[in-house]
Structure 1
Amino acid sequence: MPGILGDLSALTPEEEERLEMAVAIVNQAYVDAHHDDSMEMLAADYLAARQDTVNLLHQFTDDQLAAPVPTVVGDQAAGDLFAGRAEHATEHITSIEEGFRQGV
């Protein structure tokens, strides 16, 4: 794996494939573990995780949130990184909702 955490451009094609498979395995394990959960239970778990994240964010100072951190697309402010992860989660939620509408 690359020496700089998060530098996806440093991955070989084989490492990139292994990383994609690892993410897919984790995602599938979650799907399998929660396959029979109700929407209410899934929503409650999501909302609890969201609240934990909000509580964690409140522990950061403005200076810490403005501090640059290395990412796969270059340095960015820690607060922007958190916001980007939230946006990514929203994309997943939208996909899940669309799948439910389509009966997938």
Structure 2
Amino acid sequence: MEMPDILGNLSALTPQERLEMALASANQTYVNEHHDDSMEMLAADYLAVRHETLDLLQQFTDDQLTALAPTVIGDQAVGNLFAGRAEHAATHMPGLRGRFRWLLP
């Protein structure tokens, strides 16, 4: 079945556009699920996930970190996925620290 023209040709999206759509969808799902959560709860969840991620990262071997994993924009090394998420988070931290200094370490 063909998608309506108003949606455009989804198969013609670039890898970057597919990534942006996937991230926007994940972000909106999170917002919907946590709409009524307090800032304290959100901060605690963030810190717990950060801790779990660092613990998980330490368990990877060098070979596992260089192994390819499928993503919405093609295969990427697992270590690069971790590094990319950390880099992305680092871009948001200055603004978050300014607004929520009392919540963040």
Residues in 1 aligned to 2:15 and 2:84: alpha-carbon distance in whole angstroms:
24
Q: Which residue of 1 aligns with 2:23?
A: 23
Residues in 1 aligned to 2:15 and 2:68: alpha-carbon distance in whole angstroms:
26
Q: How far 1:42 moved relative to its partner?
A: 1.0
Indicate whether 1:85 and 2:88 are aligned.
no
Q: How far 1:80 moved relative to its partner?
A: 3.0
Q: Which residue of 1 aligns with 2:52?
A: 52
Indicate whether 1:38 and 2:25 are aligned.
no
Q: How far 1:25 moved relative to its partner?
A: 3.3
Gap runs ≥5 in structure 1: 1-10
Question: TM-score, structure 2 length as denominator?
Answer: 0.55
Identity %: 63
Aligned residues: 89
Question: TM-score, structure 1 length as denominator?
Answer: 0.55
Gap runs ≥5 in structure 2: 1-10, 101-105
SS in 2 for 1:37: coil
Question: What is the RMSD of the two structures over their aligned residues, measured on CA atoms?
Answer: 3.7
Cα distance 1:16–1:44, how it changes in 2: closer, same or farther (>3 A)? same
